[in-house]
Amino acid sequence: MSTIQQLQNSLQGKFIFPPSADISIANVIIDSRKLLFTENALFIAIKGSRNNSHTYLQDVYDAGIRMFIVEQGNYTLNQLSGFKDACVLEVANGISALQTIATLHRHLFTLPVLAITGSNGKTIVKEWLCHLLKDTFQLVRNPKSYNSQIGVPLSVLQIQAQHTLGIFEAGISEPNEMQNLQPIIDPSIGLLTLIGDAHNEGFESKEQKLSEKNKLFSSCKQVIYCQDQEWVHAYFTKLNTELGFKKYVSWSKQTSDATFAFSTQLIGSACLITHKNLSVQIPYTDEASIWNACTCLAFLLEQKIEVQELLPRFLDLPTLDMRLQLKEGHQNSLLINDSYSADLGSLQIALEFMQQHAGDYSKTVILSDFLESGKREGELYASIAKLLEANNITRLIGIGEAISRNKEVFKQKEVLFFDSTKLFLSHCQVTEFSAQIILIKGARSFAFERISKWLEKKVHQTIFEINLNALVHNLNTYRALLKPTVKVMAMVKAFSYGAGSYEIARILSFNRIDYLTVAYADEGVVLRKSGIKTPIMVMNPEEHSFDTILSYNLEPEIYQFQILQSLISAADGEEVGIHIELDSGMKRLGFDLNQLTQLVTVLKQNPNLKVKSVFTHLAASEDPAHDTFTLAQIDTFKAAATTLEKELGYSVLKHCLNSGGIARFPDAQCDMVRLGIGLYGVNPSEKKLPLQAIGSLKTVISQIRTIGADESIGYGRNGHLPSNGKIAIVAIGYADGLDRKLSRGVGSMLVNKQLAPIVGNICMDMTMLDVTHIDCQVGDEVVVFGAEPSIQQVSEQIGTIPYEILTGVSQRVKRVYFFE
């Protein structure tokens, strides 16, 4: 990679502190939370719409980085006052600088590059092509779905001299984005996947979206697309005519006039795809997989790659789960399941995810041979060892002949090596994995899913899936509504509204939440014991819990004099942070305003009690019908809080807005806001926000029965079908938190993309569904709530609120956390 001195002209930058030596850049870092391999690393500070990494320049410097790119106007010279031994280059835009650096790096290499874009299937087509070609080329590709304005340049920076084919996907959500990515990838051939509805809102029309995506292919000699989308075919046919040659090459399942005409035939659980005298079989029958496989096949044929030699690989096309899953394991352990891939890029991503959730757990990595790195074996495992060491991995279990041959490069406290997964399972005991966070990562051929199932805590088949990406998205959605200096307090009380405890708190802490709030001291203790260091407010401190609160550095809410006096006695002069609640009209907890003078007197007499914040609860901030009352509450609170702060003589954080209020009362943001139900994907206000549901409650079909119209179903004989049909018995009941008021057709569940009404009364452990007109079988997944039916729909069906549905999911239901 270049030196920062060489980059100055290309980036049109200005040195704030010039380099003292001409040092080549070894690594580019953009995230101040992920400071690995800092030697000769370049940190690029970026101010986004929600976060500004210039805020953390000192943290980056303290971690050992000495080369910086900063954005003009987004830092102060005072921030850099101690950076005299560092090199700092100022540019107009950090993302543009990153993209330019990646473009320069790309042009150091002459390898052929395939670019993939479209609305659906980009990542699957990329990963399937890599699966098919791993023995034919030395491949480099995007890790997982790194296809954004930042993800693409970071992916292209992976290119090294040994690579013989690059396969990169690119995604856009609005006009004028692809022209930034095209020179970075600079492809020689292009693949267009299905053009669907994703990101339609960012474009004037589907034709504009296609035109923007086509900008990726400006330097391509040929582009492959499916002509079965007639409007796409018409667009490219016109371009071919204008160009005077056939740059755009089509495939089709519907017509024989395409360059590559395919016929398909379903054979049980497989599909046979035929082109002339060539037939390939794939282990899928769904339309999306067939489409993606045809796209891959068209590319191979166009490139004149010998497909006959790849037929076994088509039979073994992997089911791709691009998500990192966090599950509860035996012996108080946590499991991160990434058991379907093994490459350096995805290993680094998985280790970063592990770091976010490790807390005080010791770290174990179970790793297989890496089969398609393109590096020499010794160099590959030295790189892996360096990654593990940088992430403070204490225990490594290597499985495979290659990793075993290179065991001397691994310096963990404990290392074990086995030639096969079978040998590992026969030699180890579950009890050897207590109180650890365990990353399971291996090439698909090693069948590491067997290890995951062995270590996973066994519970019944109903699960509550928590999408951590959606959680972070919702946090950032609300942050975008706030003034830059306003802090965020996140509600993680009541098991994070049913979503989890330390798992949720860790991802929030990693995303620099300012405060966490729990209901009771015990909840705070769990977070502290899990390694959470973020300030924690306790909303309902009980007098007997004050010793615990003091011991674990928790901060109690104080709302009446009795609690205040008890805390004074328990603290015995020890300094403790407290939060004062004022009642501005809700008539629940809080000091009355006429008690303010007395409160100030007591606080002044006990200076060891440090008021961290003063706040109030708004009774109906989400409802426009009560805006007059809400505005009066806000005015009352602001006046009282200002008086309290003035009398105390020091600054105190002030907050009154909840999720509904954040969206509707921007002038009342004060110093901090409290984010509760909105964080979990439920919008309590009428203002439209692009929130994402973070949770899906899922179960499975245990049995299917044929039922006559004259037969009754379930307890009390309250269930009947309108005519002869069939029911599915699913493995969820009221003991799992499914409300009995959903019985007898009030509620429905999603079975194979169709809603199936609940029949009869919900039982303790199971429920019956009418699936008369639904094609399904035992073991099929059933969605209780998620995208459809949504949690709002379920709550409306029984006349309650989403809070109750979320918090009602039983603790016996396994929570599975995933990060895409």
Burial class (CB in 10 A: 0-12, 13-18, 19+), 51: middle
Per the listing, tokens 């292009």 go with 190
Contact 97, 91 (CB under 8 A): yes
Distance CA 368, CA 352 (A): 18
Distance CA 386, CA 407 (A): 13
The H or E element spanning position 364 is strand 362-368
Closest CA to 38 of 10, 13, 59: 59
Other residues' Cβ atoms within 10 Å of the Cβ of residue 686: 11
Query: What are the beta bridge partners of residue 581?
Result: 615
- State the greatest distance between any 2 C-alpha atoms of the chain, in Å, as a whole number: 92
Q: What is the DSSP letter of 228?
A: T
Helix (H, G, I), strand (E, B) or coil at 772: coil
How far are the Cα atoms of 353, 423, 509, 597, 623 from residue 192, in angstroms, in the given order? 31, 44, 39, 70, 46
Per the listing, tokens 């991503």 go with 349
Q: What is the DSSP letter of 321?
A: -
Q: State residue 776 phi and psi, 5-degree precision.
A: -155, 165
Contact 261, 228 (CB under 8 A): no
Distance CA 618, CA 657 (A): 7
**Catalytic residue at 493?**
yes
Token pair listed for 786: 């998620």
Burial class (CB in 10 A: 0-12, 13-18, 19+), 187: buried
Distance CA 633, CA 649 (A): 24
Closest CA to 542 of 578, 572, 567, 517: 567
Contact 371, 401 (CB under 8 A): no
Per the listing, tokens 């992997």 go with 318
Token pair listed for 388: 């593990």
State the number of CA atoms in the 13 A half-sphere of 506 facing the CB: 21
**Catalytic residue at 56?**
no
Distance CA 52, CA 47 (A): 4
Please identify which of the residues 126, 209, 327, 493 carries the catalytic annotation: 493
Distance CA 548, CA 526 (A): 12
Per the listing, tokens 């067939």 go with 290
Distance CA 195, CA 527 (A): 45
Distance CA 600, CA 648 (A): 7
Contact 692, 791 (CB under 8 A): no
Q: Peptide bond before 789: cis, by omega within 30 degrees of 0?
A: yes
Buried b (16+ CB within 10 A) or exposed e, 387-412: bbeebebebbbbbbeebeebeebbeb
Distance CA 76, CA 84 (A): 15
- Active-site positions? 493, 715
